[in-house]
Structure 1
């Protein structure tokens, strides 16, 4: 699994406003029927390649057993080769939907911005199937 350099905010600087306060739990929450996660809980990512969607999907690990599938609006060519990624978070707090975040992917020509179309929480079986498919 690739380790992710996850950064919240509008640049490659950690925004203090994204950290939970003492009143906010670090566990997952549900907003509009979707599970959410804190950017600081991300501890890795894997590219997810398949014929249908090409190079625009990754599986992000947030905590010990939580995986989220991210799909970008279009191709994000450097994503397949990235050693780390960052998040340009739109607003503060948790990430729940694609509109909440843009992926920041370092590449040979600079940082590529990849708008996120969709984020979906994966079951353990779905995550295993995507990981197995990526290894083939």
Structure 2
């Protein structure tokens, strides 16, 4: 019994450290805080959140209209927070009506990545 408690405490400490690292790696943002967007290509969109944060959204399928549209919508599922691809749908108006594209992956860009991607021609 004396040896079980230290082993249990060590396992709990490792578990909480792994959970904290996972949470830090998986940055979340609120749908209402999105200020702008930039279409990188037909299946990649960068959204600006607040003054300095940029998140890259990968779409499950390409959107032929996203590179010329002046606006998009971003719908969050299950609440206002977007933490993973399954939490978001990008809504794109087009000549055939509004199209909805499920997001497959989201990642927060570093300041250097955000700056570099904003200079890329479409």
Measured against the shorter chain, the TM-score band is 0.7 to 0.9
- Is 1:69 the counterpart of 2:56? The answer is yes
Q: Which runs of 5+ in 2 are unaligned?
A: 1-21
Q: What TM-score comes out, normalization by structure 1 length?
A: 0.69
Asked if the contact 2:31/2:75 (under 8 Å) is kept, the reply is no
Asked if the contact 1:102/1:115 (under 8 Å) is kept, the reply is yes
Asked if the contact 2:92/2:98 (under 8 Å) is kept, the reply is yes
Question: Which residue of 1 is the match for residue 35 of structure 2?
Answer: 43
Residue-by-residue CA offset, 1:109-132 (whole Å, 9 max, x unaligned): 110111111111001100111112
Q: What TM-score comes out, normalization by structure 2 length?
A: 0.77
Equivalent positions of 1:10-29 (< 5 A) are none
Asked if the contact 1:38/1:93 (under 8 Å) is kept, the reply is yes
For residue 130 of structure 1, the aligned residue among 77, 100, 117 is 117
Provide the C-alpha distance between the structure 2 equivalents of 1:102 and 1:64, rounded to a whole number of angstroms. 23
Provide the C-alpha distance between the structure 1 equivalents of 2:81 and 2:121, rounded to a whole number of angstroms. 28
Q: Which has the higher contact order (CA 8 A, sep 6+)?
A: 1
Deviating beyond 3 angstroms after TM superposition, the runs of 4 or more aligned structure 1 residues are: 30-33
Asked if the contact 1:31/1:96 (under 8 Å) is kept, the reply is no
Q: Which runs of 5+ in 1 are unaligned?
A: 1-29, 50-54
Question: Which residue of 2 is the match for residue 120 of structure 1?
Answer: 107
Q: Determine helix, strand or coil for the equivalent of 2:107.
A: strand
Matched residue count: 101
Provide the C-alpha distance between the structure 2 equivalents of 1:94 and 1:44, rounded to a whole number of angstroms. 17
Higher helix content, 1 or 2? 2
CA positional deviation for 1:82 = 1.4
Q: RMSD across aligned C-alpha pairs, in angstroms?
A: 1.6
